[in-house]
A and B are shown apart, each in its own frame.
Chain A
Amino acid sequence: MNHHFSPEQFSKWLLGNCTPDEMRHGHECAECSAELIRVKESLSLFRSSVRDWADRHPAPEVARVLEASSGFRPDLRRLALVSLALAIGVIGISVPVYKYNSGRQREVQAAADAQLLDEVNMHLSRTVPVAMEPFLELLYEEQLSDETIKGVPR
């Protein structure tokens, strides 16, 4: 190699993915070597800083982790499914109940209508008014008496 690292070669060197020639250049070229050392050092310091900071925040107890996570954020998908199931259940129950109630009402109405018709028929089927019925009985008895005297077969 008689030129300096390209950005890609530089990254490959940092990631440990370089060719033997690139590895050699990284050690032999003063400019590339200095750049590599500076970047590696900065990355190492960054790594240590982040890790040291995080290590100052120890893990909470497992029970607290699970309790805190399970309490406040409901599973929205499950909630939607449950709501849908409830809605279907309500519809599934209310439709037959409505139909049953409608049928019962019709039956009751029909019975009432039938009773009214019977009463009307009974009224219409009388040949004489109610008030005249005692006279009908009297006439019927007199007719029977005449037929007995004349010997009319029954």
Chain B
Amino acid sequence: MDTPVAEISDFEKVVQVYWPRVFRFVLASIRDRDSAETLTQDCFFKAYKARSRFRGDCSVNTWLMKIAVNLVRDFARNRRLQFWKRTQSSAVEFDTVFGVPARDISPEASTLVKEQVRAVWQATEALPERQRTVFLLRFVEDMDLLEIAAATGLTEGAVKVHLFRAVHSVRVRIRRLK
């Protein structure tokens, strides 16, 4: 397995491997398809420009996620300042994003599955930005607490606190489905 520094030298492969991960994290964070594509592009552009300074202190995934987290935070900050703007047409609605459930389950089960996913989607949408970030990095990107701390600049303890609160909020939303 290549070291992180060796891995980053083949940038074309880095884009192929990590683009989906960064894109889905950004999309799930900001819920706007066009902006997510732009931010993902920016993330890899910044990574390309900074690749000579990458020392391999963390994995390539963590490094890219760190750039993406910062871009998402800046985007959210700018968007709050533009509150008078209407919702963009490229805003992602749950029903247009998530695919058709597997065919080997009953329609009732399919509906239940969709409702469960919708509950989590809506719960994450309502989370504060930092809680949503750590939640997505943990439960979608499967990053451990140390990796999340490195990507977000938080301490491990702060990551835990944000995760606990995020999970509790999601649980409350899921419980309403009972």
| Residues of A bordering B, CB below 8 Å | 7-8, 10-12, 14-15, 17, 35, 38-39, 41-43, 45-47, 49-60, 62, 65-66, 68-70, 73
Contact = CB atoms under 8 A, between A and B. Distances in A.
Given A50-B28, A53-B97, A65 B15 contact: yes
B94 to A, nearest CB: 9
A38 B45 contact: no
Nearest first, the 6 closest Cβ-Cβ pairs linking A and B are A54-B24, A59-B19, A69-B45, A46-B120, A11-B164, A42-B116
A42 to B, nearest CB: 4
A57 B23 contact: yes
A7 B164 CA distance: 8
B138 interface: yes
13 contacts: A7-B167, A11-B164, A42-B116, A42-B120, A46-B116, A52-B99, A53-B99, A54-B24, A54-B27, A57-B23, A62-B15, A69-B42, A69-B44
Given A7-B168, A54-B24, A59-B15, A49 B174 contact: no
B74 interface: no
Contact of B23 (A10, A54, A62, A69): A54
A64 to B, nearest CB: 9
Interface string B1-19: 0000000000110011001
Contacts of A57: 20, 23
Nearest to A73: B42
B163 A15 contact: yes
B84 interface: no
Given A50-B140, A53-B98, A43 B170 contact: yes
B160 interface: yes
Contact of A45 (B11, B12, B20, B113): B113
Nearest to A41: B116
Contacts of B121: 46
Nearest to A59: B19
B147 to A, nearest CB: 13
A12 B97 CA distance: 30
B117 A42 contact: yes
A8 B23 contact: no
A80 to B, nearest CB: 18
B113 A65 contact: no
Contacts of A53: 24, 97-99
Contacts of A55: 20
Contacts of A60: 15, 19
B41 A69 contact: yes
A8 B160 CA distance: 10
Contacts of A7: 164, 167-168, 171
Contact of A43 (B12, B44, B113, B120): B120
A17 B146 CA distance: 13
Interface string B74-107: 0000000000000000000000011100000000
Nearest to A42: B116
Nearest to A54: B24
A17 B161 CA distance: 13
B45 A59 contact: no
